[in-house]
Homo-oligomer: A and B are copies of this chain.
Amino acid sequence: MVVDQLSEDDVDRLFQALSDGTRRDIVRRVAAGPMSVSGLAAFYAMSFAAVQKHVAVLERATLVTKEKRGREQLVRVNPDGLALARRLLDEFEEIWRQRAARITDLLDEAPGAQAKEPS
């Protein structure tokens, strides 16, 4: 099953965005409530520009959204992005589960019986 219209590059960006501790922490923080970029930057021992870049990576990965709010830029979590990533992992597990079920069937069936595809 293909997940939506996601290109491989989209999936690359999703997981790559999640592969950095600072970015995962940003997602956690904005998941608990929206924050400005500078508000986020205050938490980390790195420059504002670095945090800005992390937010940009998360935005391109559709894990957060930004909205201009006066002179600030409010960062919000995008629940769809997270759900998408989880669904992708579910796909992998589904493939494995089907194989496991097929093997179980083979073991359960009498020897010589043909294996049918489980749902």
Do residues A93 and B83 form an inter-chain contact, with CB atoms below 8 A? yes
Nearest CB to that of A99 among chain B residues? B32
CB atoms of A86 and B90 under 8 A apart? yes
Main secondary structure of the interface of A (DSSP, over half): helix
The residues of B that contact A85 with a CB separation of less than 8 Å are 89
Tell whether A18 is near chain B: CB-to-CB under 8 Å: yes
- Across the interface, do A96 and B117 meet the contact criterion of CB distance under 8 Å? no
Name the CB-closest residue of B to A78. Answer: B96
Complex CA gap A89/B85 in Å reads 8
Write the residues of chain A forming the contact surface with B, with a CB cutoff of 8 angstroms: 8, 11-16, 18-21, 24, 27-28, 31-33, 77, 79, 82-83, 85-86, 89-90, 92-93, 95-96, 98-99, 117-118
Could you list 9 further interchain pairs (A-B, Cβ under 8 angstroms) beyond the known A19-B19, A89-B89?
A8-B21, A11-B21, A14-B19, A28-B95, A31-B92, A31-B99, A32-B98, A77-B92, A86-B90
